Structures are given as structure tokens and as C-alpha cells.
Amino acid sequence: LERLRGIVADMLFLARAEQGERAQNPVQVSLAQEMGKILEFFEMVLDDAGMQVQLHGDAQVLAQTSLLRRALSNLLQNAIQHSSAGGPIQVQMETDNDGMALLAISNPSAAVPEDALDHLFDRFYRVDGARANSGESHGLGLAIVKAVALMHGGAVQARWADGRMKVC
């Protein structure tokens, strides 16, 4: 019942985002500081999995902190669930020449087909239902990340190269 409640809440959130809901009361925050808080929350999960996360850089963003933390948490959880052995999860934060904040999380990963990359942010989409840990989530995490980005005037994309999945 708790899982079903979570799915319904996530679906309602996505519906509001699709109707054009924007972030409320945004404040200026440091991506590195917010990601640090998320890492503290995931410390035991990372220790149990024998994984490390490396943070690089920082950027200031105007964001609704609760939504930002939800997106960062979903991105990190996705990276943890779908990492293969072979290196740490990398989190890169920077500001581009236009003043836009850029966040990229990359993790060692099995190959992801090019045609699947366009669908990773779709509701309930899974590259392969037989993937490890596919039963532990309901396939809305990256859709929520996309919704949060749109609510803040941003965008998302995914790439796979050289044995690493990168979500920006």
C-alpha cells in the first residue's frame, strides 16, 4: 500500500508539472551544498554498496529547495542502482558562459542503446525489465527529475560513452 501511495503521489506531481506548474518561492542555493546534504542521507546506502561519490565544482541556482533535493536524490539513487563495478559516481557542477547552472552525474554502467537514451525520462520506462534492481523502483524517478528541471526552466539529457552513463 505504501508503494502504491508513492506511485499515486508521484503521478499527481507529474500531472501538475505537465500543466505548467512552476517552482514556488525559489531561493539562491549552492548545488554543491545541496548535493552534500543528499550524500549525507545516502551515506549508509553508499557504504553498503561499497560505492563512492566524487563532487567536482559548484554552481549557484535559483530553486525551490524541496524540489531540487528531490531531483538530486532521484539522480543519485538512479546512479547507485544502475552502477556497475569500475569506479566512483562523479558529480560535476559548473556554470556555463550564459550563466546557466550545469549538473552532470555519471556512473559506470553497462551499455545503454542509443534509442533508449531518449526515453529514459519517460514515465515507467526501463531500458530492460530484467536489469538488476528493476523491481525496486516504479520507473518515475527520472521523469520526476525532468519535471523538476522544467519547473525551473531547465532541461535534461542522458548519454552513454566509454562505459559510463551521464545524466545532465
Alpha carbon 13 to chain centroid, angstroms: 16
pLDDT tens readout for residues 150-165: 999 999 998 888 888 8
> From CA 147, how far away is CA 150, in angstroms rounded?
5
At 108-161, the pLDDT tens digits run: 988 888 888 888 888 887 776 544 444 556 778 899 899 999 999 999 998 888
pLDDT in tens, 48-64: 989 999 999 999 999 99
Q: How many Cα atoms within 13 Å fall on the side-chain side of residue 146?
A: 17
Which parts of the chain are beta strand (E)?
A: 27-30, 53-57, 60-63, 89-95, 101-108, 158-161, 164-167
